[in-house]
Amino acid sequence: MKKLFSLLRGKYLLMSILTPLLIIGEVIMEVSIPRLMAEIVNTGIQNHDIAYVTAKGGMMVVMALASLAFGALAGWTASIASIGFGTEIRKSLFERVQDFSFSNVDRFSTSSLITRMTTDITNTQQAWMMLIRSLVRSPIMFVSASVMAFSINRRLSMVFLIAVPILITVLTLVITKAHPRFKHMLKQFDSLNAKIQENLIGIRVVKAFVREKHENNGFEETASALRDAQMRAEKLVIVNMPVLQMMIYVCILTILWVGGKMIVVGDMLTGHLISFISYVNQILMSLMMISMAFTMLVISKASINRIVEVLNETPDIPDMAEDDTPIKDGSIVFDNVSFSYTGDLSNCTLSGINLTIHAGETVGILGGTGSAKTTLVHLIPRLYEVTDGSLLVGGRDVRQYRQETLRSSVAMVLQKNVLFSGTIRENLRWGNPDATDEEIVAACKAAQAHDFITTFPDGYDTVLGQGGVNVSGGQKQRLCIARALLKSPKIIILDDSTSAVDTATDSKIREAFKKELAGTTTIIIAQRISSICDADKIVVLDNGQIDAVGTHQELLKTNEIYREVYESQQKGVA
Amino acid sequence: MPPMPKGIRKPKDAKKTFFRILRYFGDYKWQLILVCLLVIISAGAGVVGTYFLKPIIDAYIVPMIGAQNPDFSGLFSVLVSLALIYLAGALSTYLYNRIMITVSTGSLYKMRMEMFSHMQKLPIRYFDTRTHGEIMSRYTNDIDAMRNMLSQSVPQLISSSITVVGVFSMMLILSIPLTVLVVVMMVTIFGVIKVVGKHSANNFRAQQKAIGAVNGYIEEMIEGQRVVKVFCHETESKEQFSHLNDSLCGAATRANTFANILMPIMNNLSYIHYALTAIIGGALTIYSLKQDMGIFTLGLGALVAFLQYTRTFAQPITQVSQQFNVILNALAGAERIFALLDEEPEVDDGYVTLVYATVDADGTVQEADHRTGLWAWKHPHQDGSLTYTLVRGAVEFEDVEFGYEPEKVVLNGISLYAKPGQKIAFVGSTGAGKTTITNLINRFYDVPDGKIRYDGININKIKKADLRRSLSMVLQDTHLFTGTVMENIRYGRLDATDEEVIAAAKLANADWFIRHLPQGYDTMLTGDGSNLSQGQRQLLAIARAAVADPPVLILDEATSSIDTRTEALIEKGMDRLMEGRTVFVIAHRLSTVHNSHAIMVLEQGQIIERGNHEELLAKQGKYYQLYTGMFELS
């Protein structure tokens, strides 16, 4: 929470302080107006003094104008303060997430991060605006109107001593009772939405098995549960309004009865009676506003908590290198490396990995789903931190490099890869912002992408939609490879990056790699044996452990898994 | 907090939609009429109550000032009637809110139910052309807008209008000259609302656009965060974000400022009005005490009541103007909901039904009332006679042509014949039309009469539900539902016993892993079975198809997301499942199809090669190229 409020600084902090001050001004003007009215009646009309009436009336106009100015200014400063606050939160949240390592993102999931940065920030922003406006305004209004009422007539003010506690009790009771009911209602909302979502995703299954009626019955249950929950929650809240009305009415009646008698016997003046009625409204309404604002605040609390969670999350992989040593060569050594996503060594994803890769070698990695191939290569550019053992790149532990240095020498083509909205050229320049057109074309030729790019009417300036939606899977993969090549890395890792590319093109890419990336260490993860069979070294992974290392011929002879995979792919070639 | 106009969307035909909503709430006609009455009483009580200040002050308090033995019985009885009016008002407020809850929760429930069950009836085509988010927002945003309108805006609108009309009439009764001032104020208020509203709307539009840009960027960068890391692109993305964020800040500040200042302006304009009324009214009262002023006559009590009215006048006007946007928004939402409800459901004019059957010794087919392991098509004819045809699983396509859109042909001249118990495979690139063929068999999409026959019967004559019950599908993306493993498998046939479910799981080779789950068959699956691996999900889908025990099976890329070694494990279960059934297999990977009776190679909606594995290899055509890796499917 402290972290959140440290973002409220400079201009926005100033405006956040100024807003309540302006609102105090507005409220003081507002509560003075009924007082002046009382004087108009008591003195002006009583003495038939039109000049007095006009003078006091003029004062009221001035006060109303001042109140208007204060109020409008407060509206302005409040929006500067809260929107600014929201902007700062959004900025630091975004920057924080950019600094997250893979394991941090795993913990939150992408969609939840997006909600936190959009909806939750809007809620927090609105809550702050309400806090510095309404939640300041109402208590001040309550106090100053009460002071005014007491100063006019102590005895008559006793009526508030009865009405206010009753109202507070009812409002508090309703809020505390309603809160769990609303929570329950929101839960029912979630399950209703989940039900619909599930149905939309599985609509073909529903239809294929003719389960429409079955689904309808299930939905009816959820929908009626929601209806009942909603009913239970709202039933309580609607008590507020009539109770408030009732209290206002009771006060007015009492004031008229007691006050009326006091006027007749001369204990009070008519004008005071009139101002009193105004104060009833101001005092009781402000209580209502406080309770409403409070409810809103409780609702936004969940959003605030979710934001704070992200702000408090420290990036798992700190950059602690003292010097910026460049990477000597593309050699890689896994020295008894173990890795666990939870950091718990008894539940390892990878264990006891020993592997030496010389600079310039081509290494294939093979293994079934869940054998931790991807995890293994993620450790090389230090996207995850090894849990035990050490990993050397260019003869030095990866933790001793600056992350930027390490990652600009290790190019990685991810399995689930993403292109960004923008032109093809802009996307390719992610690899190297200063790449010349010749370099770009060369990289694309090596990745077998140049040919299809030039068939587009706009060539390299073709605009890609978000996520690269307008190119096919195979084309996307080739663009991603070209993007990685532009880094001119010492190590390049292809994580199942040619799965959607046909075998002929695939082999062309590998040929180009051999020719142009002679000195670059190449690591290829593949499902197809044909993609890796001519590698210098093939690593067979099984269940997070190295089952065997060898060439294609060696493994065919000695390794059972490798042979099985080979045979399963020979039966039907793919 | 001022209501946030979330990019007001205007309804196309507000009047028509409004009346349709009204018709919708026909069940609650009496409640709604009662609500209207109660709102009138509730608002009226406030208006009338204030008017009482005049007689109380003018007749019961002021005249008695200084009296020797003041008689308070008059004041008392007036206050008693005022108390009754107030009580009626507060009670009405409670009652109409209470009734509105019943009406709104009840009608929203009805609306949701209708939407959902209608959605179930819609053809697959509907879901193909819309994103899930789009359909979801009918249930969330649009229903929410309706809820706001029903439970808040409509009662408030009625109440505000009554207050405005009531107050205005009372003002006229109290003092005509002061009412002239009210009219002047009203014009000013409308002017302010118009000016501020216009600026506010413009700025909100700008804000909406900026939010769209920022949220889009957030989505893209968070989704691509791993790529950002790999390319050390953090600094650039932070810079670009900061830029977008700043422009959002500017737009949002302007938009919110206009929203924020409206209330204080209105409130204080009303105070200015109050002050002006006090000056003029004060003067009139003073003159009235001295001489007869005609219509300008004003007593102190009347002035007090009038002043109270000026304070209650501005608020409902502002409210009406704000609720108006909420209502427009809700109408637009209702229009989209109605569009969903008006969507044409799947047509089903089939009359041939699926029944359990027994076969007599002489070969005649009889209908049975229990599960016999055999099914028959019950075919009523025009002359009133009935024939039964045993379900065997023969499927015939005769020169089928089809396109999802009329001008884009997906299938062209497809003819094929699957004999009962045969395994037919379709091979081809994405978009070649493989899945479309299976979509036609189970009538997710319809083709003209007589082109597809099932056991010799034109499938358009078969009732859709029965047709689909006789086919089972295992799809590429396995969809599981929230519930236990047992319930998910039982989805294939709801009356299957636990033993039958377990037997199906064993058949699909799924039993061993299910038993290793924490609660075995009672393990809860949530979020589309996200706690299972892809292979395990696939096995459950196969078990689900097995428990349905249909004569025809469709496997649409059922094993494509499983690696080849895992596939070998599933294969056994698959083989057992396929035994004795007509099977259509769609595959990307050729290892899955090589033992088929017939393989169809599809290209651009046409069968370009057909035959079994050996025949096709001998042909040295496309299939041969695929098999030898010279060509890869995309």
pLDDT reported for residue B242: 93
| A residues 250..279 contacting B (CB < 8 A) | 252-253, 256-257, 260-261, 263-266, 270, 273-274, 277-278
Task: Copy the structure tokens of residue A61.
Answer: 């106009």
- Whether residues B238 and A205 touch (CB distance < 8 A) is answered with no
Nearest-5° Cα angle at A540, A534 to A542: 160
Residues A348-403: tens digit of each pLDDT: 888 889 999 998 899 999 887 667 888 899 899 888 889 889 999 988 888 888 88
The arrangement of strands across the sheet holding A332-339 comes to A350-357, A332-339, A388-393, A396-397
pLDDT reported for residue B634: 43
Calculate the average pLDDT of chain A.
87
Q: Is A203 exposed, middle or buried (0-12, 13-18, 19+ CB in 10 A)?
A: buried
List the single residue in A102, A277, A572 with the smallest CB-CB distance to B590: A572
Task: Copy the structure tokens of residue B341.
Answer: 């409800």
Nearest-5° Cα angle at A189, A186 to A190: 90
Residues B414-424: tens digit of each pLDDT: 888 888 888 88
A431 vs B contacts (CB less than 8 Å): 231
The topology (CATH level 3) of B14-175+298-342 is: ABC transporter transmembrane region fold (1.20.1560)
Residues A262-292: tens digit of each pLDDT: 998 888 888 898 888 889 888 988 988 888 8
User: What phi and psi values does residue A153 have, to the nearest 5 degrees?
Assistant: -155, 110
pLDDT reported for residue A570: 66
A54 vs B contacts (CB less than 8 Å): 279, 283
B318 φψ region: left (φ > 0), alpha (ψ -120 to 50), beta (else): alpha
Task: Copy the structure tokens of residue A35.
Answer: 């007082």
Distance CA A125, CA A327 (A): 46
| Per-residue pLDDT band at A572 (split at 50, 70, 90) | very low
Q: Which of B411, B410, B367 is nearest to B388 (CA)?
A: B367
Q: Give the dihedral of Cα atoms B501, B506, B510, B516; nearest 10 deg.
A: 90
| Per-residue pLDDT band at B7 (split at 50, 70, 90) | very low
CB A53 within 8 A of CB A103: no
- Whether residues A505 and B632 touch (CB distance < 8 A) is answered with yes
Distance CA B573, CA B86 (A): 77
Terminal CA-CA length for chain A: 56
Q: Which of A233, A19, A78, A91 is nearest to B104 (CA)?
A: A233
Complete DSSP assignment for A6-42? TT--HHHHHHHHHHHHHHHHHHHHHHHHHHHHHHIII
Q: Which of B337, B473, B462, B326 is nearest to B3 (CA)?
A: B326
Element (H, E) at A365: strand A362-366
H-state helical runs in B291-398: 300-342
A242 φψ region: left (φ > 0), alpha (ψ -120 to 50), beta (else): alpha
Q: Which of B222, B476, B542 is the best residue to mutate to test the A interface, defined by the most A CB atoms within 10 Å of its own CB? A: B222
Q: Write the CB contacts of B619 (distance below 8 Å, at least 6 apart in sequence).
A: B609, B611
Q: Which of A420, A304, A90 is nearest to B214 (CA)?
A: A90
CB B545 within 8 A of CB B579: no
Distance CA B454, CA B350 (A): 13
Q: What are the counts of helices (DSSP H) followed by strands (DSSP E) for chain A?
A: 23, 12
Distance CA B252, CA A12 (A): 14
- Whether residues A245 and B90 touch (CB distance < 8 A) is answered with yes
- Whether residues A368 and B534 touch (CB distance < 8 A) is answered with no
B286 vs A contacts (CB less than 8 Å): 44-45, 48-50, 53
Whose tokens are 């409004």? That residue is B18
Distance CA B418, CA B404 (A): 24
Q: Is A25 exposed, middle or buried (0-12, 13-18, 19+ CB in 10 A)?
A: middle
Distance from CA of B358 to the nearest CA of A (A): 24
Q: Is A469 exposed, middle or buried (0-12, 13-18, 19+ CB in 10 A)?
A: exposed
B2 φψ region: left (φ > 0), alpha (ψ -120 to 50), beta (else): beta
CATH for the A1-140+300-316 domain, from 1.20.1560.10, 1.20.1730.10, 3.40.50.970, 2.60.40.10: 1.20.1560.10
Q: What are the counts of helices (DSSP H) followed by strands (DSSP E) for chain B?
A: 21, 16
pLDDT reported for residue B589: 65
Q: Is B270 exposed, middle or buried (0-12, 13-18, 19+ CB in 10 A)?
A: buried
Whether A500 contacts chain B with CB within 8 A: yes
SS3 content of chain A, % helix, strand, coil (to 5): 65, 10, 25
Distance CA A11, CA A88 (A): 12
Task: Copy the structure tokens of residue A427.
Answer: 């996307």
Distance CA B605, CA B428 (A): 10
Helix axes A110-117, A270-312, angle to 10 degrees: 150
Whose tokens are 């118990």? That residue is B421
- Whether residues B97 and A91 touch (CB distance < 8 A) is answered with no
Using CA coordinates, name the residue in chain B closest to A254.
Answer: B79
Q: Domain ranges in chain A?
A: 1-140+300-316, 332-571
Distance CA B406, CA B401 (A): 11
| Per-residue pLDDT band at B387 (split at 50, 70, 90) | confident
Q: Beta-carbon neighbour count of residue B363 at 10 Å?
A: 7
Chain pair A-B, CB pairs under 8 angstroms: 429
Residues A41-75: tens digit of each pLDDT: 999 988 889 999 999 999 999 999 999 999 999 99
Q: Domain ranges in chain B?
A: 14-175+298-342, 353-390, 395-627
Q: Is residue B632 pLDDT above 60, yes or no? A: no
Distance CA B104, CA A235 (A): 12
Residues A308-360: tens digit of each pLDDT: 988 888 888 877 777 788 888 889 999 999 998 877 787 788 888 999 999 88
Q: Which of B126, B124, B128 is nearest to B445 (CA)?
A: B124
Q: Across residues B620-629, what is the average pLDDT?
A: 76
Task: Copy the structure tokens of residue A480.
Answer: 């991603």
CB B90 within 8 A of CB A242: yes
| Per-residue pLDDT band at B501 (split at 50, 70, 90) | very high
B271 vs A contacts (CB less than 8 Å): 30, 33, 60, 63-64, 67-68
| Per-residue pLDDT band at A225 (split at 50, 70, 90) | very high
Residues A415-453: tens digit of each pLDDT: 777 888 888 998 898 888 888 999 999 999 999 999 888
Distance CA B17, CA B20 (A): 5
CB B48 within 8 A of CB B102: no
Q: Write the CB contacts of A314 (distance below 8 Å, at least 6 apart in sequence).
A: none
Q: Tell the CATH superfamily of the B395-627 domain.
A: P-loop containing nucleotide triphosphate hydrolases (3.40.50.300)
Q: Give the dihedral of Cα atoms B458, B461, B464, B469; nearest 10 deg.
A: -60
User: What phi and psi values does residue A468 have, to the nearest 5 degrees?
Assistant: 65, 45
**Cα atoms found within 13 Å of the Cα of residue A570, Cβ hemisphere only:** 7
Residues B130-168: tens digit of each pLDDT: 777 788 888 888 888 888 888 788 888 889 999 999 999
- The 8-class DSSP code of residue A45 comes to I
Task: Copy the structure tokens of residue A536.
Answer: 């210098």
Distance CA A57, CA B271 (A): 11
Task: List, in sequence order, every residue forming a beta bridge with B379; answer none if it has no partner.
Answer: B387
Residues B451-484: tens digit of each pLDDT: 899 888 888 889 988 888 888 888 777 788 888 9
CB B483 within 8 A of CB A218: no
Q: Beta-carbon neighbour count of residue B62 at 10 Å?
A: 16
CB B533 within 8 A of CB B584: no
For chain B, the residue count is 634
The identity of residue B272, as a single letter, is I
Distance from CA of B205 to the nearest CA of A (A): 16
Q: Give the dihedral of Cα atoms A391, A397, A402, A407; nearest 10 deg.
A: -30
Characterize A291-320 residue by residue with b for buried, 16 or more Cβ atoms within 10 angstroms of its Cβ, and e for exposed: bbbbbbbebbeebbebbbebbeeeebbeee
3-state secondary structure of B102: helix
Specify the pTM. 0.78
Task: Report ipTM for this prediction.
Answer: 0.83
The topology (CATH level 3) of A332-571 is: Rossmann fold (3.40.50)
CB A384 within 8 A of CB A102: yes
Q: Across residues B214-219, what is the average pLDDT?
A: 87
